[in-house]
Amino acid sequence: MRFIVTCFVIALSVLIAYYGLEYDHGFLRFAQRSPKNLTGVKVPEKSPFDDDEDDLMSLYMEDSDQSYSLHYDFYQDSCPTAERIITKRIREFYAAKPSVAPSLIRLLFHDCFIEGCDASVLLDADESFASEKEAPPNQSLKGFDVIESIKSELESVCPGVVSCADVLVLAAREAVLMAGGPFYPLETGRKDSVVAFKEMAERELPSPQATISVILARFGTRGFNERETVSLFGAHSIGTTHCTFFEDRLYNFSGTGKPDPELDTGLQQELKTKCPFSASAPSPGTGVGPSMPASDYGTVSSAGGNDGVIDMSYNNEGGEENFGTRYYRRLMQKKGLMYADQQLTGREETEMWVRAYASDTQLFRRDFATSMMKLSNYHVLTGPLGQVRTTCSKVLPKN
Ligand code: HEM
Ligand SMILES: *[C@@H]1O[C@H](CO)[C@@H](O)[C@H](O)[C@H]1NC(C)=O
Ligand SMILES: *[C@@H]1O[C@H](CO)[C@@H](O)[C@H](O)[C@H]1NC(C)=O
Ligand SMILES: CC(=O)N[C@H]1CO[C@H](CO)[C@@H](O)[C@@H]1O
């Protein structure tokens, strides 16, 4: 049975690779791959547009020779309503407060990027380890309460069965859909970590001032190529960012006392009115090497309390292009908010994809879906590795 289901998932994935899966008003439909108009996009020798199939296959085949692995609908016997509960609850949360969607997507990124999707980001500090939440890049993370609330409902239906790591990836998937992004299939069966990795979170999460070399290196060591990395940044088409994270670009870029020349002057003026100069803003050097210290992340809202919040979806006008596409168009107009965003146009290997996604919404949606599946499966714990927490912020008591 498991084997048949796995085959089905693989077949489905291949179909998605070819057609792109669109979730539209509750119906799954296969959107015919529209003819590409790739004018202006330099397609490399070996066209990356054709290798989706292999990517998707390898995502599923990767751990198939291990005895413990993820399965499609892992909880079908142990907690058949789990996925439906998660979906329903996220829709309710989203209806009440749409900002939960970007919060959960960012939470997923921070969890999976550090030691894999093991819900380690959700842990509070305890006697034996410091919490990842306390690492500077984790400040301003939100959505913990949403995950905890869904988890407690699942505990009342099937106690000790559904892992926090699975709740997080499924919640983030629904959040992407709610925010206007694509649907993607996910296998389940992740286990939760018994420790958190604060130091690694500090060291490994790129800062908003990271250069393209640092960004590609950090994503590269996790198996994400340029195309996948650029596609994941499409998540910055929604949600908010604090002024602190790009203020140096407005007033004192790289200690020059001037704004970042790579920032559109009109946008610079506009942002200055929303983010007035504050002496506490970090003014990190940007010629940094791979060992960008975490302190360059600055501190959020702790200093002065005058740190404004900017909507990353500014200038979105509605429609399918809101999720992703317009973000890439803004990058092409030097209207990236963070230095790290604008760095994607700083090198041909990534700029190529910025241009492709700016002009082809369906290509972006397919790529984003594939990359989110890959991110959601990154270094998961399965079988006897890890545990199923009962409360997401705490590991199970010993014995
Ligand atoms: C070099 C890589 C990245 C850097 C430096 C970065 C940095 C940031 C920063 C500084 C914020 C603003 C936080 C705040 O002020 O509250 C933010 C927000 C956000 N990031 Fe990223 N990010 C990166 C990659 C990603 C990726 C790969 C994803 C998801 C696939 C993602 C999803 C989000 C989302 C959805 C938000 C909005 C959060 C909200 O509104 O609550 N980011 N990011
Ligand atoms: C592709 O786009 C270019 C300019 O963006 C346009 O001139 C050309 O006619 C388009 N081609 C097709 C087949 O739509
Ligand atoms: C800009 O940053 C440099 C280096 O951090 C600092 O020496 C200088 O005083 C700053 N200028 C302003 C106007 O804040
Ligand atoms: C959401 C969350 O737990 N944020 C924490 C990030 O770290 C700061 C300081 O280390 C805490 O005060 C926050 O509660």
Q: Is 359 in contact with 37 (CB distance < 8 Å)?
A: yes
How far is C-alpha 67 from the chain's CA centre?
Answer: 29
Give the residue, by CA position, lying nearest to ligand 4 atom 12: 134
The series of mean pLDDT values per 10 residues for the chain, 399 residues long, is 69 59 44 39 40 47 59 96 98 96 97 94 79 66 94 98 98 97 97 86 89 97 98 97 94 95 96 83 38 37 60 84 95 97 97 98 98 97 94 89
Give the pLDDT of residue 306.
52
Round to whole Å and give the CA distance between 306 and 259: 20
pLDDT at 129: 72
Q: Domains in the chain, ordered, with CATH?
A: 1-32+50-60 (no CATH), 207-372 (1.10.420.10)
Kindly give the number of the ligand 4 atom that is closest to the alpha carbon of 124.
3
Q: Is 25 annotated as a binding residue?
A: no
CA of 210 to the centre of ligand 1 (A): 13
pLDDT computed for residue 18 by the predictor: 53
Query: Which pLDDT does position 262 carry in this prediction?
Result: 96
Residue 279: the pLDDT is 59
Whole-number pLDDT of residue 317: 78
Is 236 annotated in some ligand binding site?
A: yes
Ligand 3 and 257: CB distance under 6 A: yes
Residue nearest atom 3 of ligand 4, based on CA coordinates: 133
CA distance 388 to 395: 8
Residue for token pair 């439909």: 29
* pLDDT of the residue at 20: 52
d(CA 164, CA 191): 8
What is the CA(248)–ligand 4 centre distance, in A?
23
| Contact residues for 47 (Cβ-Cβ < 8 A; gap 6+) | none
Active site residue 379: no
Instruction: Say what the pLDDT of residue 266 is.
Output: 96
pLDDT at 195: 87
Output the CA 300–ligand 4 centroid distance in Å: 10
**Which pLDDT value is given to residue 131?**
73
229 Cα nearest atom in ligand 1: 27
All residues at 6 or more sequence positions from 310 whose CB lies less than 8 Å from its CB, including other chains: 240, 241, 242, 243, 246, 271, 274, 275, 337
